[in-house]
Amino acid sequence: MSDQQEFPDNTTEYTDVEHSESEHQPHSGGTDLALPEQNLPDKVYIIPIHNRPFFPAQVLPVIVNEEPWAETLELVSKSPHHSLALFFVDTPPDDPRHFDTNSLPEYGTLVKVHHASRENGKLQFVAQGLTRVRISTWLKHHRPPYLVEVEYPQQPKDPSDEVKAYGMALINAIKELLPLNPLYSEELKNYLNRFSPNDPSPLTDFAAALTSATGNELQQVLDCVPMLKRMEKVLPMLRKEVEVARLQKEISAEVNLKIGEHQREFFLKEQLKVIQQELGLTKDDRSADIEQFKQRLEGKTLPAQAQKRIDEEINKLSILETGSPEYAVTRNYLDWASSVPWGVFGQDKLDLKHARKVLDAHHAGLDDIKTRILEFLAVGAYKGSVSGSIVLLVGPPGVGKTSVGKSIAESLGRPFYRFSVGGMRDEAEIKGHRRTYIGAQPGKLVQALKDVEVMNPVIMLDEIDKMGQSFQGDPASALLETLDPEQNVDFLDHYLDLRLDLSKVLFVCTANTLDSIPGPLLDRMEVIRLSGYITEEKVAIAKRHLWPKQLEKAGVSKNSLSISDSALRAVIDGYAREAGVRQLEKQLGKLVRKAVVKLLDDPKAVIKIGPKDLEASLGIPVFRNEQVISGTGVITGLAWTSMGGATLPIEATRIHTLNRGFKLTGQLGDVMKESAEIAYSYISANLKQFGGDPRFFDEAFVHLHVPEGATPKDGPSAGVTMASALLSLARNQPPKKGIAMTGELTLTGHVLPIGGVREKVIAARRQKINELILPEPNRGNFEELPDYLKEGITVHFAKRFTDVAKVLF
């Protein structure tokens, strides 16, 4: 039984009482304790108890409320036998003075009352269980005290062999239970003091009382008078109790083992720490942290403000408890602040020969870019140090912008750090979070300096034209301070809250187009344009870089697999005409994979790929040699796209002569539509001057179309081309063959400059067009082009449209 049992009327029954006193001392009434079978009274008072029945084999203190049971106990103390009956009631009545007599069970227990006392409205007495009792007649049942006539069941004195067997089983179960729960051992001692082990009835009742069964289950045992049936009920209850106790002991042992292991490990570690500290071998966590931060700062040149701030934080760390959250925040801050390479600068390799060697090894073509980088390095060599600068590499995808940045770093001998700002929406990525936020970190620039361990690395900001904006701020605006050479001497990171000198950092930014870069940011950068490659350059890149790289990737030796120059040209012309070389690399990879399949079947084979083998591996060519459209009213223009340059034919035709009109098609943007209107107006107004019939446009309905209607087109540089197409139509004379042009036209016939001269010249060369008309203001742009691009091309420079007409007709 448990230490304490509560009853709904606030009665409590205790089991851990010392019973020897009640067993051997005389009662206050002066009579000795009677044995269960002696002096059993016919009439007794009853008290209902709740929660658990009282068994004949028990001696326990019982506590009841003074009201309404004081009178009952007083009458019991005056009776010669000092006995009363305890009956179990599962659900107590609201008022104990009025309860249903039918709610009592069949059997209760006759107990002898010892040592009655009262305290704080409670009555306490020790109850010694004598025997089962059954009510035969109610003598007084309206209100307490309740008086009843009782009868006692008879037990056979000589138990059968089966009962003895059950008795042995019960004793064995009790023996098993004792080591598992020491609380039961005291109860067993009390039982053995009073009963013979050969008496089965008290043994069975005692065994039932040991279990933690419910009140109703125990009442069923009390109601069961036949010995064998009662034992059959009690034995399973006792076995269950043994199993529960065993399981509890196993769980406790497992938990204690785990706790013991952890405690042992913890104590040993703590002892080791103390021993090491006593011997001076190690320091505690705080001292170790502080020493580590101070060691990191040795040899670094900190600004006075930064030194002061870090010293303050170290002092703060020395007085904080290591377990406090503020300790972790301060430690994290010092970890970052001490990792910045204050005043540590790498030595630049200002050797132009070495730089040229590196650039040539990494890149075929791009001569103008290499020259520009070498000029930049030459200035540094002349001055003795390369100061920070911001270079913006602009060009189509796949032309090698990122690898140019790496080559700059390698040629200078500086560490290189690249991070992409494409899609970045949070300005804290650049400037850091305030350290008050959970999970705060410095910006990417401080992280870069920590990684490269010098204050003058090459930092590449990739995809700067693809930055986003959101409610978290505008990172493009945050870059203004970062990239401005006048401001980044005192760059402030929000997390460190310290001024950093970024003026020696060489920033290399990359973009595909300038349109989406904010003006103020663009203004701070030096723009270097990387145009697309011509076929010759692509062949060189494929031979020197892309093909060996694909062979190495597949683990194929160059003796087993080779490709001819003509096959490379065929791949470039038929499958990879884009400005960069990314698509070319993919196609070469595909060729290598197809060849590897054959090599698996025949490892000793030697495969040579020629132009005729391409269709089997790469399919039908994506690009065909375009026929340059020619005829009356058809002119070839030149266009710039983000993927490089392209030729753009423009067609004009007369639909009918019923009325005057002008129609435009080809998915044109607003600027291009305006260019068409200007060309139409200019040619209509000046047709006589160009030798056409002045009345042609008065009567004709003209349609102007720019082919590839699915592709959006915009820009002013097709003005001259559109005017030429309309003039050819009006004169009914086809233009000169094999000529292409570009330029913006005004209403007064002036030809204005355009952009993307290099891309447009490359597009013309790709189409085998060798005669071009360019605006006169673009003469300088053409002269700057490398000789291999200008070779074999005739260029006419036009100031006014009359110059264009002279060349065309």
What is the set of active-site residues?
717, 760
Binding site as annotated, residues: 395-402
DSSP for residue 680:
H
Binding site as annotated, residues for ATP: 395-402
DSSP for residue 545:
I
Helices 582-601, 547-554: axis angle to 10 degrees equals 40
CA nearest 51: which of 96, 118, 1?
Answer: 1
Phi, psi of 794 (to 5 degrees): -100, 130
Give the whole-angstrom CA distance, residue 604 versus residue 584. 28
DSSP for residue 796:
E
User: For residue 600, with 0-12 CB atoms within 10 Å meaning exposed, 13-18 middle and 19 or more buried, which class applies?
Assistant: exposed
- Tokens read off for 724: 């030429």
Phi, psi of 186 (to 5 degrees): -65, -40
β-strands 59-65, 122-140: how paired? antiparallel
Give the whole-angstrom CA distance, residue 697 versus residue 801. 19
Give the whole-angstrom CA distance, residue 399 versus residue 537. 11
**477: Cβ contacts below 8 Å, ≥ 6 apart:** 427, 518, 521
Phi, psi of 176 (to 5 degrees): -65, -35
The runs of H, that is alpha helices, within 56-139 are: 66-78
- Tokens read off for 629: 């459209």
**809: Cβ contacts below 8 Å, ≥ 6 apart:** 691, 727, 728, 731, 733, 735, 736
Q: Are 333 and 435 within 8 A, CB to CB?
A: yes
Tokens 């104990």 belong to residue = 96
Phi, psi of 797 (to 5 degrees): -100, 130
DSSP for residue 94:
S
Tokens 């062999």 belong to residue = 161
Task: Show the beta-strand stretches assigned E in 411-546.
Answer: 416-420, 458-462, 491-493, 498-500, 506-511, 526-529
